[in-house]
Amino acid sequence: MYPAPSARFLQTLRESHVPHTQVQLLRTDGVTVTLPHTDGSVTVDRSNAVRRTCSVTVPDVSLLPMTPTSQLAVYGARLRILRGVIYGDGSIEAVPLGLFRIDSISGDPAVGPVTINGSGLEAVIADDKFTAPRTTRGATAAVTAITGLIQDTIPDAVIVNRASDATIGTMTWDIQGDRWAAVQECATAIGAEVYADADGQFVIAELPDLLTAPVAWEVNAGESGVLISADRGFSRSGMYNMVVASGENAEDNAPPVTASASDTDPTSPTYVGGPFGRVPKFYSSAALINTSLAQGAANKLLRDALKPNATVTLTSLPNPCLEPGDVLRVVYEDGQRELQQVQSFSISLGLDSITIQTIGGKQDT
C-alpha cells in the first residue's frame, strides 16, 4: 500500500469527510499546471501490461489543442493525478494515483467538455520497439538488464528493486521486438514482475504471498464500515495448476534445464491430483540457465495462475493508497471474514467510491 501521508489519513477515509482530487499537467517546457476538472477515473489492473490508465474530463475548451504545440499536445506531456482529504481545519493531504502519458484528447471545441485519456509509463517502453537486435550481453544480472532496457527509452527513469537479483542467461531480441515484453521476461527469470507505480517509478517485485503478507486494509460492512456491496464468484477461465519452465542457452554454454511447480495442496480446489484435473502451462526462456532460475519462474507463473480461482468485486469507500497485490481483510454483513488480494480497482475523481476486483480468497480465522 502507498504510504499514508499521516496517521490520521487512513482513519479519516473511514469517516465522513470532504474528498480532494487534483489533476496536474506536466508540460514539456517544465511548467506544472493544475487543471480544473469535473469528472474522471483511474483504473489500476495488475493483469494488464500497462497497469494504470486514466480518463479526465475538463470543462475549459481552450485546453483542447488546435496545433501540435498547444498546451495539451499529446507529444510528451504527462498528467499526475492525486486524491486525498480536506480536513476540517482546511488542510489537505493527498497521495498520487499515477503518472500518465497523455494518449488522446477530444471534445467539442465550442461547448466542451474535453476528455483526456492517459496510460502509465509502461506504454512508453512498450511503444519503443527494438530498431536493431538487442542483447543483454555484458549485463549478467537481471536487474541490470531490466534497468538498461527501461533507461534506453526513459534515461531518467527511477528503478526500484524489491526482488532477489540473480545472474540470468544472455538474451537477444530481434528487430521490432517488444521492449516491455523483454523487461518482463528478465523479471520472470527471478520470479518477479515489473510495473510503473503511482509515482511513475519502475518497481521490480514479487507478488506478495496472501498467506504471509500483512493485511493492508480492512473492508468491513456495518456501522463505521467502508463496504458498500460485494459480489463473489469462481471461474477456471485462464487457470492452470502446473507449470513446466525450461531454458537452454548456447551462447552461455548452458545445458538445458527444466523445473516444474504444481498445486500439491490436497485441500485446494485446484489440487493437481483432484477433480479439477491437471492443466499444465509450459514456459521457455534463454534467461533460465540453471535449475534455481527455472524453479523460480515456474513458482511465479503458478502463483499468477492459481490466484484468480476465487474472485470478489467490492464497492467501498475509496482508499487511494491501495495497490495491486495488497491483502485485504473483508468482513461481510453476516460476520464472515476472509482475506483477499487486490487484482485491480477503479477509483473515481467524482463519486466517493472505489470498485475493487480481488483474487485468491482465503478464510480469515
Compute, in degrees rounded to 10, the torsion defined by CA atoms 6, 7, 12, 17.
Answer: -30
Rounded Cα distance between 338 and 214, Å, is 13
Which CATH fold would you assign to the domain 125-205? Phage tail protein beta-alpha-beta fold (3.55.50)
pLDDT at 72: 62
DSSP letter at 301 equals: H
Compute, in degrees rounded to 10, the torsion defined by CA atoms 190, 287, 258, 266.
Answer: 30
Residue 119 Cα distances to 110, 199, 238, angstroms: 27, 13, 25
Q: Please, what are the averages of pLDDT over each run of 10 residues along the chain (365 residues)?
A: 94 91 92 93 95 95 78 80 95 98 91 94 98 88 96 97 95 96 96 97 92 91 86 81 94 92 88 93 95 95 74 89 94 88 92 84 70
Residue 319 Cα distances to 98, 205, 207, 213, 229, angstroms: 14, 22, 20, 19, 15
SS3 195: strand
Q: End-to-end CA distance of the chain, in Å?
A: 23
Which CATH fold would you assign to the domain 7-120? Thrombin, subunit H (2.40.10)
Q: How many residues does the chain have?
A: 365
Contact 111, 123 (CB under 8 A): no
Contact 241, 271 (CB under 8 A): yes
Rounded Cα distance between 252 and 136, Å, is 12
Query: Which sequence spans correspond to the domains of the chain?
Result: 7-120, 125-205, 215-235+309-363, 242-306
Domain 215-235+309-363 carries which CATH code? 2.40.30.150
pLDDT at 310: 67
pLDDT at 123: 98
Q: Cell 488522446 appears where? A: 104
Q: Which of 166, 121, 116 is closest to 139 using CA atoms?
A: 166
